């Protein structure tokens, strides 16, 4: 691939915050794996989009059959097996992007929170395995919430943040950076909700949140992100998205 080549990558997720985290992590993996690629070249070599290039992502809610009455989307089992959660939604998303995308994207990233239900990962994999579309399809499932991925990357910067981390660890009974998957999806105000744990550490500062996934090394994110499935997402990016840019198989460093 040359630096002049441009790829459009469709992202299916729930909200803008999910798109930002998933896409910036993807950019980091690409730049880490491909020697000639850097942040400036990314602006000309890839674009993030939804069903068309005027949108930054496609919402899962937009894939509902009722929104596309004229589009024929298959129903029923996957390879003879009942659909797991989110399998049907992912099937619709892939079919819409392939046949209704303007233009059809060069790759797809499916991003979802498990909300405590890891069968959602199996459902997304069912849809990917069924698809005959010849484009890379990357799956990123945050267990249990996107905030768990951010917690994986939290590194105290000063005495105050060290104190907050120790207080958080004491309240939870474990380190939220290495065991974020132990945090529960509900209720929202529970101390073990990942949103509450993250709030206690970064105090609602979006720039501080971003530093967690942008400044912490990919090696640390992989190590801490096994339970939260962040490690799986980074691995999927390496094995499926990097070759689209590099033209050869890449392996995590």
pLDDT value of position 4: 47
pLDDT tens-digit map of 117-129: 999 999 999 999 9
- In degrees rounded to 5, what are phi and psi of residue 74? -60, 150
pLDDT tens-digit map of 208-225: 999 999 999 999 999 999
Cα three-residue angle 235-30-139, rounded to 5 degrees: 40
Give yes or no for residue 201 having a pLDDT over 50. yes
Cα–Cα dist 97/104, whole Å: 6
Cα–Cα dist 225/147, whole Å: 12
The SS3 assignment for 115 reads: coil
Q: Provide the strand spans (E) within the chain.
A: 7-13, 46-49, 58-59, 107-113, 137-142
Contacts 24+ apart (CB under 8 A), 130-136: 130/78, 130/79, 130/91, 131/91, 131/94, 133/94, 133/98, 135/98, 135/104, 135/105, 135/106, 135/107, 135/108, 136/106, 136/107, 136/108, 136/240, 136/241, 136/243, 136/244
Q: Work out the average pLDDT over 134-161.
A: 98
pLDDT tens-digit map of 30-85: 999 999 999 899 989 999 999 999 999 999 999 987 777 777 777 888 989 999 99
pTM, to two decimals = 0.93
Reply yes or no on domain 1-143+229-253 having CATH 3.30.70.
no
Give yes or no for residue 3 having a pLDDT over 70. no
Residue-range domain boundaries for the chain = 1-143+229-253, 153-225
Beta-carbon neighbour count of residue 62 at 10 Å? 16
Q: What is the DSSP string of 49-72?
A: ESSBTTSS-EEGGGG-GGG-TTS-
Cα–Cα dist 39/128, whole Å: 29
């Amino acid at each position: 691939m040359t630096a002049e080549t441009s790829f459009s990558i469709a992202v299916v997720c729930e909200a803008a915050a999910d798109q930002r985290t998933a896409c910036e992590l993807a950019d980091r993996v690409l730049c880490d794996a491909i020697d000639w690629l850097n942040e400036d070249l990314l602006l000309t070599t890839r674009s993030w989009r939804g069903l068309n290039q005027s949108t930054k992502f496609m919402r899962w809610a937009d894939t509902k059959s009722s929104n596309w009455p004229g589009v024929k989307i298959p129903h029923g089992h996957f390879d003879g097996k009942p659909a797991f959660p989110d399998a049907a939604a992912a099937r619709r998303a892939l079919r819409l992007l392939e046949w209704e995308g303007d233009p059809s994207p060069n790759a797809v990233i499916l991003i979802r929170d498990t909300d405590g239900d890891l069968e959602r990962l199996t459902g997304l994999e069912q849809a990917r395995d069924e698809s005959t579309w010849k484009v890379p399809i990357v799956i990123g499932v945050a267990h249990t919430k996107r905030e768990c991925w951010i917690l994986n990357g939290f590194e105290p910067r000063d005495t105050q943040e060290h104190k907050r981390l120790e207080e958080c660890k004491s309240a939870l009974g474990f380190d939220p950076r290495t065991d974020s998957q132990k945090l529960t999806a509900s209720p929202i105000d529970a101390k073990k909700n990942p949103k509450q744990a993250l709030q206690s550490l970064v105090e609602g500062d979006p720039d501080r949140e971003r530093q967690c996934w942008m400044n912490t090394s990919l090696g640390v994110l992989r190590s801490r992100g096994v339970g939260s499935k962040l490690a799986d997402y980074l691995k999927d990016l390496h094995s499926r998205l990097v070759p689209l840019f590099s033209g050869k198989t890449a392996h995590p460093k």
